[in-house]
């Protein structure tokens, strides 16, 4: 999905794909990569000024940090 979004030059699609990847890496227990994808998604949503998606991005980051405790 990430490669496809990048091919289409869909910035919002890229952010969503990165958020999904972050969630998948959380499930795998790889919190470093999950955090990288989550922060990349957050950065895109900040640039797009999308409050709803920003909220979801912060939620994903919160989940990542919670699982690391």
DSSP string, 40-59: HHHHHHHHHT-HHHHHHHHH
Q: What is the pLDDT of residues 1-33, one digit of tens each?
A: 788 888 889 899 999 999 999 999 999 999 999
Rounded distance between C-alpha atoms, residue 13 and residue 6, angstroms:
8
Q: What is the pTM of this model?
A: 0.90
Residues 7, 40, 44, 20, CA torsion sign:
positive
Q: Dihedral (C-alpha) 55, 27, 2, 54: value to the nearest 10 degrees?
A: 10
């Amino acid at each position: 999905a990430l490669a496809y979004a990048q091919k289409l030059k869909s910035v919002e699609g890229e952010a969503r794909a990165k958020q999904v990847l972050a969630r998948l890496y959380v499930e795998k227990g790889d919190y470093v990569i999950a955090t990288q994808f989550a922060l990349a998604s957050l950065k895109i949503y900040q640039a797009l000024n999308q409050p709803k998606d920003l909220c979801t991005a912060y939620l994903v980051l919160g989940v990542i940090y919670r699982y690391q405790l």
